[in-house]
A and B are shown apart, each in its own frame.
Chain A
């Protein structure tokens, strides 16, 4: 097996011991990038015939910087020092985080020329734990999307399992890079499902921590009350190690929680005996318009996905868990309507800072006054989906609609939060340790099949966004492959700060399913790469 495909925790352990060089690990990642990534995405690039054979995850792959960092880790080991639990692991950073000295673009023309003067806290912490930043990966512009197709840097990433299909979004580059072995880890963000949904589509593990568990300092803001940085990797153990490095208070982000950070690896192998895991019919259907448009309807999710999740529940029961059926989460269907309001209001507010004056794109056209400078710079710099979000934010927060929409949405958020509090209450009727749900209503869809229909696209997050409203943690873990060979993700949701429990259940699932036939399948782009 190539170094690029090996589990990160094994690789890091060998680097720490000195039996493997961090430089070799990083070289293997760059070799894989050369094999599968294809041409580097560029602003407004025209499509080319062979684009859909490659991943196109990386906006920046900085070999020199990465090799220098890897060499420093090898020197530490040689000097008898411990380079940390992530020693030498390649890290692909979603280009929504500032990394000192690198272009930090948010996949937008308006920030295409912005070079970050500082690094985000999660980046600094992962590097301090030994991870090596190998580059920045693509995303939906300002994270606004669920397919990664709204990026200003084209071609958009493809799904390693089938590059004619989307990798999901907004962290499409992150999930794709990890799935294809281009990186062991990715640092991403989740505002409505942007880590978990692409993780499900690409067959990797993605964790959205509890709001406040990981610092947002240095993250380019979208919806500040919902944005959560978190890791993606190919297995649960690696995700636990990455979270360990990132989690905890940060004096530079006042919303980080002062709650103690547990050891996420300690009880990872402890199994699920006696744990109470809930299934809810509210997560096996969605209330959404049909693809192609039409009135909002209630319909079941993809039957392949439902069957996979129910089988996973049965097998967790055989491993000793207590499965609690028919758990009511009756406000789930309101999560997307409320998200349409809350996220747009926060986005419009956060994106007012882009003005062509302080940093980022400024129009080259002559302008008569400051207002014209704003209008031209923002008109040229923002993509269509960004403009759409800002306009909706303006509308629903206007004085005459605020009560009907924004305040109403914040009260619906209370109802969604209460649904979860009820089922996780240790003294309540359900007393759940976790909910087991599908991560997504469908598997990955073809590039171009949904993009442009902003309503249908938003419902790709129907099963992930409730956790963002409530602030609770969630993890997506590979659960199998659909009949047509695309990954299916299972989602585990838990009470505030229950990441250790969710990871433990996820790890148990990995062990239960370790010998399943689907586990030996590899993404399509790796077919010609060789073992």
Chain B
């Protein structure tokens, strides 16, 4: 096997990242960053008792006072419905965009609607133009002991095609074309 995915976590001196924090002279030795070499399992398995991946806190100690650490990475939501939208038209005069919505969960037919631009985040306003793709999400979120339903509209940001990607697409097209044959002419 080229890489291991289930090797036990290595900590302490086995971790190169831990070394950079060795200068700290905290009364309690800082918990080193944990690196499972070769593993792609999302794992911040620091203490087994609190167990894998459910520890959403940062698990490394930057060279700062300890109180600056442990910022929660709060995964606390679950998607109820997700639509992929495509902007068809933008009416800046009335501050609305006409969109085509395709459900990504369940089998719901596509439909066209209008969305007020007030629901678009300021940082995404430049992206609002015909052809732009966005995701409209209805989700529930756990906040302490309460649950709230909310929605989010986020525009897609993908880099444009790279030269290599275009070359690969061209190569695929050449391969497909080479397999094509003209239909025989009916007599």
Q: Do A and B come from one complex?
A: no
B residues apposed to A, CB below 8 Å: none
